[in-house]
Amino acid sequence: MKCHLAIGTLVAASSLAIGSPVAAAAENGWELPVLSVPAAQAISRGDGITVAVIDTGIRTEHPALAGRATEGPDFLGATGQNSQPWYGAHGTSMASSVLDVAPGAKVLGLRALRDADDPSFQTWEQSMEHGSLSGQADPIGKAIRYATDHGARVVSLSLGSQVSLGAYSDETMKAVQYALGKGVVVIASGGNDGDGDNHLAYPVGYPGVIGVAATNPDGSRAEFSSVHDYVDVAAPGVGINEAETSTNGRAPVDGTSCSGALTAGVAALILAKYPELAPRQVEQLLQSTASTYGQGHNPLTGYGVINAEAALRGAASLRPESPALAVGKEGAGVHFGPGDDGTPRNINYGMNSEDLAIGGVAGVLGLLFVGVGWLLFRRGRRAQRQWMGNAR
């Protein structure tokens, strides 16, 4: 089942394929070797880094999280829901992938979305407008700011919209920029709409967010992974061995949610070893050491599958820079800000180049249809007047 939490035209796909309960450590998962995580963990284990998992809440007592996770405020304004069986299924799954990659890190769980089985489940638009039943708007943006102000160095967003421009939020975009300016790396899954309408999505579409596609074991794009030019890198997203709440064990999961969470773990490894690096530098490391970097960028998998060990080794030669200089500036770095890589300069609309092209073609066709329709209308009116005259 797909694990990217897509809210809008598609409900949350957080149901997991049930597997046998296993120990807290990842067992027989192909994802960690592909990402060179075992070799990277010989260099860094993520100690001292807090990763904020902004999601549906987490089950801190799950064996995969126990002792390494805390839960912060519920930005939906609910209380006492963590005793419900549906609570935190998706968020717990994502937190386990972060900790599989960075076992020395800490997870801060922040609830800003509802699981699909939540009786009060909301669409993306409802969540953005109302947030909670008490009217708290923009829960994701508020959670990002809270994470930034409470010590998180990485924000993991395994969630996204599938309603294109209707999901854009100026407040959430500003919260992302606030986090980046404070040196916080923001990572979002690319979306599971690649075999559907392939809508433009947020928060992955905001400038400065590291967008992650999902791949198969051979490095090719998973068929469901969305295709856009804001995809920066890719990570495993098929059959990922993640925490499963109903059995307190693990189960295989598909989705770009998994890819984003694994990438957040890699970012934690880098920052634990090199804490002064700016978000833009972390993104550059992930890109420049990815599997197909030398072949240039493509919207399917970005610069390819990330390599945790290579990124860590590459970090040794970087000189830290100010994070405030990297956000929204032309020349700031590939896919980090608008204007230097084909992304649009007007970030207020959040559209990428392919959507602008499609929109332009659609607009031209629309004008043609309107013009033809008007001519036919005028011709019909003339014919009607002529018939009326003959009738008299």
234-284 pLDDT, tens digit each: 999 999 999 999 999 999 999 999 999 999 999 999 999 999 999 999 999
Exposed/middle/buried for 388, CB within 10 Å: 0-12, 13-18, 19+?
exposed
The span from the CA of 340 to the CA of 355, in Å, is 17
Q: Which residue has the higher pLDDT, 85 or 198?
A: 198
Q: Cα-flanking dihedrals φ and ψ of residue 265, to 5°?
A: -65, -40
200-232 pLDDT, tens digit each: 888 998 889 999 999 999 999 999 999 998 999
Of 76-90, 272-286, 355-369, which one has max mean pLDDT? Answer: 272-286
126-157 pLDDT, tens digit each: 555 544 433 457 899 999 999 999 999 999 99
Q: Report the mean per-residue pLDDT for the chain.
A: 78
8 A C-beta contact, residue 191 and residue 256: yes
Residue 68 reports pLDDT greater than 70 = yes
Q: Which residues are catalytic?
A: 55, 90, 257
Position 284 scores a pLDDT of 93
